[in-house]
Structure 1
Amino acid sequence: MQALEKNLIDSSWVTIILVVLLALIAVLKIIDSERLKGYVFALFNKGFIESEIEEDTSFLDAFYNTLFLFSTTTLSLIVHAFLSERSFGFKNGFSSFFYIFVTVVSYFLVKWILEILLSRLFLIKNTVRFYFVSKFSYLYSISFLLFILFVITTYSSLNSSILFYATAILFLIRLVFHITNNKKLIFSQLFYFILYICAFEIAPLFILFKLML
């Protein structure tokens, strides 16, 4: 009985974070319910991304900051759950989650800043704008699905492996949609695209997991 009680206490912080995430969704709805709906279905709505580019809204406004916080927190929860189950010696707890959260946020921020700086340095900001906006839009879109999956697997008898496999599938779908909707840019600059993938996608991921393990 004591062991069970301890387990419930240890995982109570997850419930608190999930409540915070629900609150963030409520904030997004209050700020702009139509835009929230657009991002939920952005994976299947290319027109929404094009309209976002035309509006040219600053990525530093309240809506985008809240959306970014929601997505990175959701991803951090999934990474924490994966490491807790698959990594030997990983210490399960809020402190471990917070470290992962800071690492994930730093990863996306540094990557985003470098991409913006390089696009401006080589005067290709307008050329690659749809590429960058769609990449983040698809990430935000699947983060809502991942949040639902995380809640279901956390508070049901379903095996947590379902969450991990579903996450991998959703990221694969995101990659397919991203390549499909940017195929002209990618295949016209295939060599530079491969360099970009290696430098900004694959290598940082290895560094990210090294930092968290």
Structure 2
Amino acid sequence: MLREVISNDWFTVFLVLGLSFIVLCKFLFASRFNDFVTVIGNSKYLKIYARDQKFIDGFDALLFLNLIISVSIFLYLAYTSLVNPSEFDLTQFFKLIFGIGVLFLIKVLLERLIGSIFEIDSLIDSYLFQKTTYKNYTGFILLPINCLLIYTISPTKHVIYACFILIVLINLLGFISTFKNHQKLLLNNLFYFILYLCALEIGPYLILFKLIKDFNA
């Protein structure tokens, strides 16, 4: 028997919307999508499609839309399960989606601006492609996880923390892959690399944490 969850109908709408973006992505980019789903443990996707990346990429855009929906649902579930149990608020949920989407987009644009200023566009483009790939893969994995948390598994503290660890591991793999590919260059500019991590990798997530903390403010 399915577990009763407040506002399952709204969650279902957003889950179907996220699934629609993934299905459309597979329909329009079948070969690339098949390579994408095996990106963990297989560098084929990164090697092939890094050469063909564009500033606005339809494949990544569709997966990005699913990403912000899936991340928003997961964070909403985590917040209402662990911090402040409450009724589903559609307005607050839209604010969360908007905040996460804007945060991710601003972060990417700032990184591209830095690449242009320091004339390292090719390095930044390669880095962003790999990072975006693993972030989109996180959204891809979160879709079925959200389904389980909403309809089957109770989102207890241990379950939520286990999901957070899985998300961190996926993105850590992406970071390690990027570091290995550009190890020499990064070590030669270690100070700037650490400055970058603090400003554009750690900083935005502190902002996201603040956004979630003040969610009901």
Normalising by structure 1, report the TM-score. Answer: 0.86
Q: Which runs of 5+ in 2 are unaligned?
A: none
**Structure 1 segment 1-213 matched on structure 2, within 5 A:** 8=6, 10-56=7-53, 58-88=54-84, 92-161=88-157, 162-183=159-180, 184=183, 185-212=185-212, 213=214
5+ residue gaps in structure 1? none
Instruction: Give the 3-state SS of the residue equivalent to 2:152 in structure 1.
Output: coil
**Residues 127 and 61 of structure 1, relative CA distance in 2, 3 Å threshold:** closer
DSSP 3-state at the match of 1:43: coil
Distance 1:180 1:64, change over 3 A: closer
Q: Give the superposition deviation at 1:158.
A: 4.1
* Alpha-carbon contact 2:39-2:46 (below 8 Å) kept: yes
- Contact 1:139–1:174 under 8 Å retained in 2: yes
Letter in 1 for 2:105: L
Higher helix share: 1
Task: Pick which of 158-167 and 93-102 moved more.
Answer: 158-167
Q: Shift of residue 169 of structure 1?
A: 2.7
Return the offset for 1:27.
0.6
CA distance in 2 between partners of 1:190 and 1:80 (Å): 37
What RMSD in Å do the two structures reach over aligned CA positions? 2.3
State whether residues 35 and 45 of structure 2, in contact with CA within 8 Å, keep that contact through their aligned partners in structure 1.
yes
Q: 1:160 to 1:25 in 2, by over 3 A?
A: farther
Distance 1:44 1:141 in 2: 13
Provide the C-alpha distance between the structure 1 equivalents of 2:178 and 2:114, rounded to a whole number of angstroms.
22
Q: Secondary structure at the match of 2:56?
A: coil
Aligned residues: 207
* 1:20 Cα deviation from its structure 2 partner: 1.1
**d(CA) in 2 for partners of 1:86 and 1:196?**
32
Question: TM-score, normalized by length of structure 2?
Answer: 0.85
Query: 2: CA distance between counterparts of 1:181 and 1:118?
Result: 18
Measured after TM superposition, the shift of residue 160 of structure 1 is 4.1
Residue 69 of structure 1: how far off its partner (Å): 0.3
Residue identity opposite 1:11 in structure 2: N
Asked if 1 retains the 8 angstrom alpha-carbon contact of 2:70 and 2:143, the reply is: yes
Q: Secondary structure at the match of 1:166?
A: helix
